[in-house]
Amino acid sequence: MSAFLIGGSAQAQDTPQEKTQKIELEKSQQLISGWNDRLDEVDTALTGDEITGRLLNESRSKVETVTEGAAILQSSAADRLNRLNTALGKLGEPPAEGKTEAPAVAAERERLNKDIAEISGVIKQGELVDFRATEISDRLAQISRERFTRRILGRVDVPWDAESWGQVWSGAIELPDMVRSRYADLDLEGPIGDQLTEIAPGLVLLAFVVMAALIGGEVAVLRWLPERWRNAPKEDRVSLISGTRFVFTALVPGVALLVAYQMVDRQPDLLVGSMGDFVYQCFAALLFLLFVGAAIRSIYSPFSPGMRRAGTTATGSRVVGILSLFAAVIYASDLVLLQGATTLGTSLEIALVQSVSNVFLISVILFVSSLGVFWEHGGPDRHELWAKVERRLRRGLRSVSILLPVLSILGYVALARFILENLMMAMAFVTSYWLLRGYARALVHTYLVRPSAPDDDGTSDAVHGTLYFWLRVTIDVVMFTVAVPLAVLIFTDIAWADLIDAAEKAFIGIQVGGINFSLRAILIAILLFLAVLGVMRFFQRMLNTRVLPNTKLDEGLQHSVSAIFGYVGICLAVLLAISAAGMDLSNLAIIAGAISVGIGFGMQSIVSNFVSGLILLIERPIKVGDWIVVGADQGLVKDIRVRATEIETFDRSSVVIPNSELISNRVMNWTLKDRSGRGIIRIGVSYGSDANKVREILLEIADKRREILSYPAPQVVFIDFGASSLDFELRYFLRDIGDVLAVGSAVRFEILERFRAEGVEIPFPQQDVHFRDIEKLAAAIRDAGRGDPKPVIEAKDDVPDASAETGDGEGTEPATPPSAAKDENRDKDAAARSIPDAGGDPDGDGPR
């Protein structure tokens, strides 16, 4: 058939090529004829009276072979047909009626049409074979379901009288004699002996491997424990020891047993008929015992309770562990004995009594093991979730342990056995999975996450936690991906070939319209997206740490370049992932139209903020590190993201402002063009102070501050004659406007100290109070002192009794000296005055 794939177009005169094509067609016909004969054999076998499980498996294997071969033949024939049609198209349209063409072209056209007809016939025959194989496969599935239903839901009469049970046990005692008589005449000198002699060395070697793993694994775990394991946390140490014990006592011997069975199974005369089923069941029972025994020692640790991983008590670990091992032995023996009885053709009563006895024994063991007296309750080291799961599982086991005997008494022995078999296999599978998962996590945590002592490792615990989290996720994904196919093979009748075919179909994909959805394309797209994004992030990090810092660009521009590079990387990764997933990029126009509709209904603000963020990065009205004021909020710009900008206030709180507000609203940027800025300090002195001396002191203080620029030079401005003081302003420019508060505070401290040293007074607020008709008031006071009645003073509407005038000293009486007024009103004014903020007002020192 490979030659059939290679054949190409040939000239009509090329006789050897025509012979080759003829041979290829004959081979194809032979293949199709052989497939039809094989399907006829399966169809004939399925019409018989006795259809066994082995017959169904063999028939299913034959049908799968035919289906795969037909698919390959159709694919190769379709490819050849496409090439022939392409070659025919190169010759152009056939001549119209009454016209002729060149003889060579006509001969080539005739040959191509002949080949196309033959290939089309092969394709149709292949399709017919595939149709027959599909029908037979569906029939096999239906027969399997019917047999399974009859076997599981079938009801039998269990003999419960003592006489029947006595006869059954007598027959069971005679089973060894029946085995000896059955295989006494087995010829070991013929082909069977030769085949056993051929594989005997390999079997002996594998037996030695099994024994060495069982004994050496225990010794290695108990005596040669690595020092790093001893220093590991208790949970990791227990997981490492139990996992290593499980690997040596279960996985290694299990693999050796599987290899041994494959060696025996490949011999044509060893595993034939019912004897082959018996040997297969023996291997399965031994493999089950290996895994369950290793799991029990690793989880319950009956003879070392300190190493137990289950939530049992010290006594419960021994009781539950030994009972679980006893149940596993009973189950494995039941599998072997039942298959042996079937092979020897014993009576149905023996199989029934054996099944019922084993179901009752295992049910009792499950019920006792699930009792709460053997389990801890509320231990400090037990997670609440797992405690709940454990309690529910024990309740489920008690329910099953009661249900199985009831089903057996009612006669549904097959259903009880089916539930028991799946329960035992599920417990063994889940336990093995849990042990290996914990073992892998402990290895990763011990050797990768913390490869050295914590004191020698400079990495923070947060980094360790993040790394360990993602490594645990990776372990779970890998183990789950491996465990699901194994579980499907163990708990269902799906063959390995069917599982591979389903996986291939999932990877090939499903065609929906013009888009092919396939698991392979999706995985490739995800991996490509992560890879491209990782590469772009790496270059962005290099840009931030090595390239941009060595340039003369300011910090804000460096951030803008880095952010734009990150956005470009994300867009590139998304486009490449979409392309790798099989989606035509031209279809993005439809997606863009759908997105535009979404924008019109509910995404205006999101898109507005995104576009505003791009404008901020390109136009750069604000940059990272700028001191900005937006409404009532002000602070330093920490980050400009896609949707919003983060501002850190001077109180160390973060304010997130949508980018659209920074574009549409008024924003004050103190450091847009330059970091320098002006600071202003207002000061008032008493009217008796020397103004020139005040100016000299202020300029001297400003000149001594290194934060204050010499150019433009500081200056002192005489602002006004105030109500209580002469008002001055010290104006200066700072190298960094961010120091305005600190410098202003330091300058004020120094001004206060110098003014006190130089005798310059900073006055309190002052008021001059003048009274009219003071003579009448004085006379009234004298009369009140002599006890005379109070005079009646008529109030005049046009002239008030008293008035207060301030500041300029105008009035009928001489002004009170400022010092006396200050002394008289000190308490009153001190209670009413307000102390200005250290940072000044917004029009003075700048934003606070």
**Domain boundaries defined on the chain:** 2-93+103-153, 197-449, 457-508, 514-584, 603-672, 677-758, 769-832
Residue 41 has pLDDT above 70, yes or no: yes
DSSP code per residue over 614-629: HHHHHH-SS-TT-EEE
Burial class (CB in 10 A: 0-12, 13-18, 19+), 825: middle
Average pLDDT score over residue span 582-608 = 63
Query: Residue type at 724?
Result: S
Residue 644 backbone phi and psi in degrees, to 5: -145, 165
Residue 365 has pLDDT above 60, yes or no: yes
Burial class (CB in 10 A: 0-12, 13-18, 19+), 548: middle
Low-confidence winner among 136-145, 191-200, 276-285 (lowest mean pLDDT): 191-200
Query: Residue type at 321?
Result: G
Please give the CATH topology (third level) of the domain spanning 2-93+103-153: Methane Monooxygenase Hydroxylase; Chain G, domain 1 (1.20.58)
On the CB side of 176, how many CA atoms lie within 13 Å of its CA?
1
pLDDT band, very low/low/confident/very high, at 185 (cuts 50, 70, 90): low
Angle, helices 162-173 vs 348-369, to 10°: value is 100
Average pLDDT score over residue span 589-602 = 61
Q: Do domains 2-93+103-153 and 603-672 have the same CATH topology?
A: no
Low-confidence winner among 40-44, 95-99, 459-463 (lowest mean pLDDT): 459-463
pLDDT of residue 456: 44
Query: Residue type at 842?
Result: P
Residue 2 has pLDDT above 60, yes or no: no
Residue partners of 676: CB distance under 8 A and separation at least 6: 709, 733, 734, 735, 736, 737
pLDDT of residue 172: 65
pLDDT of residue 451: 52
Residue 717 has pLDDT above 90, yes or no: yes
Distances in whole angstroms, Cα of residue 252 to Cα of each of 257, 293, 294, 437: 9, 14, 11, 17
In terms of C-beta distances under 8 Å and separation of at least 24 residues, what long-range contacts does 291-294 make, across chains too? 291/250, 291/254, 291/428, 291/432, 292/324, 292/325, 292/328, 292/428, 292/431, 293/249, 293/250, 293/325, 293/328, 294/245, 294/246, 294/249, 294/250
- Assign residue 620 a region: left if phi > 0, alpha if psi is -120 to 50, beta otherwise? left
Please give the CATH topology (third level) of the domain spanning 677-758: Alpha-Beta Plaits (3.30.70)
What pTM, to 2 d.p., does this model score? 0.56
Q: How far apart are CA 389 and CA 311, in angstroms?
A: 11
For the stretch 269-315, pLDDT in tens is 676 666 677 777 788 888 888 888 888 888 887 777 667 777 778 78
Average pLDDT score over residue span 73-88 = 84
Average pLDDT score over residue span 763-780 = 77
pLDDT of residue 682: 93
Asked whether the CA dihedral 140, 145, 147, 148 is positive or negative, the reply is positive
Residue 447 has pLDDT above 60, yes or no: yes
Query: Residue type at 374?
Result: F
Residue 664 has pLDDT above 70, yes or no: yes
Comparing 629 with 597, which gets the higher pLDDT? 629
For the stretch 556-571, pLDDT in tens is 667 777 777 887 888 8
Q: How far apart are CA 430 and CA 434, in angstroms?
A: 6
Average pLDDT score over residue span 101-109 = 82
pLDDT of residue 415: 85
Determine how β-strand 633-640 pairs with β-strand 644-648.
antiparallel
Distances in whole angstroms, Cα of residue 459 to Cα of each of 49, 450, 452, 453, 469: 73, 10, 11, 11, 15
For the stretch 799-840, pLDDT in tens is 444 443 444 444 344 444 444 444 444 444 444 443 344 344
Strand partners, 515: 512
pLDDT of residue 562: 79
pLDDT band, very low/low/confident/very high, at 681 (cuts 50, 70, 90): very high
The CB density around residue 131, as the number of other CB atoms within 10 Å, is 11
Whether the CB-CB separation of 274 and 343 falls below 8 Å is answered with yes
pLDDT of residue 726: 92
Q: Can you tell me which residue has the tokens 């491209």?
A: 532
Calculate the CA dihedral of residues 436, 440, 446, 448 and round it to 10 degrees.
170
Distances in whole angstroms, Cα of residue 680 to Cα of each of 384, 683, 840: 64, 10, 8
Low-confidence winner among 222-231, 476-485, 651-660, 726-735 (lowest mean pLDDT): 222-231
Residue partners of 523: CB distance under 8 A and separation at least 6: none
pLDDT band, very low/low/confident/very high, at 718 (cuts 50, 70, 90): very high
Query: Residue type at 204?
Result: V
pLDDT of residue 654: 86
Strand partners, 31: none
Residue 690 has pLDDT above 80, yes or no: yes
CATH 2.60.120.380 assigned to domain 603-672? The reply is no
For the stretch 387-415, pLDDT in tens is 777 788 888 888 999 998 898 888 888 88
pLDDT of residue 750: 92
pLDDT of residue 278: 74
pLDDT of residue 495: 58
pLDDT of residue 154: 74
DSSP 708: B
Residue 99 has pLDDT above 60, yes or no: yes
For the stretch 608-641, pLDDT in tens is 777 777 777 777 788 888 888 888 888 888 888 7
Distances in whole angstroms, Cα of residue 334 to Cα of each of 48, 293, 331, 432: 30, 17, 5, 22
What percent of the chain has a predicted confidence (pLDDT) above 70?
72
Task: Compute the mean pLDDT over every residue in the chain, rounded to the nearest whole number.
Answer: 75
Comparing 49 with 35, which gets the higher pLDDT? 35
Residue 730 has pLDDT above 90, yes or no: yes
**What SS3 state is found at 279?**
helix
Residue 249 has pLDDT above 80, yes or no: yes
pLDDT of residue 127: 87
For the stretch 516-557, pLDDT in tens is 566 677 777 888 888 888 888 888 888 888 887 887 766 666
For the stretch 141-179, pLDDT in tens is 788 777 777 777 777 777 676 676 776 667 666 666 666
Calculate the CA dihedral of residues 380, 384, 388, 393 and round it to 10 degrees.
-70
Average pLDDT score over residue span 221-228 = 70
Q: Can you tell me which residue has the tokens 């006055």?
A: 763
Average pLDDT score over residue span 679-690 = 90
